[in-house]
Amino acid sequence: MIQLRNVTKKYDKQEALRGIDLNINEGECIVLIGPSGCGKSSLLKSINRMIDIDSGEIRVFNQSIESYRVEELRRKIGYCIQGVGLFPHLSVKENIAIVLRVLKWKEEDIDQRVNELLSMTELPLSYINKRPHELSGGEAQRVGVCRALATNPSILLMDEPFGALDPLTREKVQLAFKEIQKKLHKTVVFVTHDVEEAILLADRIALMQEGKILHLDTPNKFMNLDKNEYGSDFLGKDYSLRLLKRFTLADLNLKEVRSFNSLVNLSLGSSVKDGLSYCLNAEQSIYFNDNNHIYELSYNDIYNFMQRINHE
């Protein structure tokens, strides 16, 4: 879907991108992560020509981006940024529909598309006439995602889109986006500083330093980085613990039980990290109810699961 070949970009004498080679598959979510100034946003913006590269080639839909008119290319690619960038004087509907009107969609088609997007992102249809200042941060960010998806682009570029949200709201929006991605299978390039966000959302993580991609692999495989390799400090010593956020208790294939002590507030859809937290607090096995089925969760269940994913 997206191919970068020996892509370089300089700002004066500083190399922002240094010979980047990257293939991004259709329907894949690639998360770019690394310290400030490592080239993440430059790489992202080069794909829709927000910046022009100095050398190399970028291909989108099996065609060089240089062969597209810039506005044509950008209409094929959704773009979502930190701080949302909603127009304050426009309603929610008008913000979402702004590109659709440029493309001269019929008003009834615009209404249908806006309603579809609001439903998909779990925003009430009554919000269509609200202004951005009437929305919470999480609601505004969801409207930003709606706008990026309005023309149903195959590719979505997201530049730290949830970075300005408080931690609780951020987690809710991350999980909502993950569910949307499961349904839509967009090709996503996502920039973040947040390691746990990368683990949760990525099919593959590209770890960057000084304009280069040093490691490119699935979140699971990053657990095996040598402690002396670049990235081990950036990802943190608790990376294995953070990785548990990616999986749910349903992934553990827990067995049902008939006898149990008190129940905790978990379900099969809860993260393994949350399950471990309950086990640590209880200092023993715990039990939870999911759809009138009782399950037991122990340290051994989590340990054995970690061993399994470590060898996949």
Closest CA to 96 of 72, 82, 78: 78
Measuring CA to CA, how many Å separate 187 from each of 30, 110, 159, 235? Answer: 8, 24, 14, 24
Closest CA to 213 of 39, 55, 56, 52: 39
Say whether domain 2-243 belongs to CATH 3.40.50.300: yes
| Predicted confidence pLDDT, tens digits, the chain (312 residues) | 899 999 999 998 889 999 999 999 999 999 999 988 899 999 999 999 999 999 999 999 989 999 999 988 988 899 888 766 788 999 999 999 988 998 899 999 999 999 999 998 888 999 999 999 999 888 888 898 888 888 889 999 999 888 878 888 888 888 888 988 988 899 999 999 889 999 999 999 999 999 999 899 999 888 777 666 676 778 888 888 889 999 999 999 998 998 887 899 999 999 999 999 999 998 889 999 999 999 999 999 999 998 888 776
Q: Model-level pTM greater than 0.85?
A: yes
Instruction: Name the token pair of 288.
Output: 């939870």
Domain ranges of the chain: 2-243, 247-310
**Which pLDDT belongs to residue 75?**
85
**Which pLDDT belongs to residue 183?**
87
Cα–Cα distance measured from residue 59 to residue 47, given in angstroms and rounded to the nearest whole number: 8
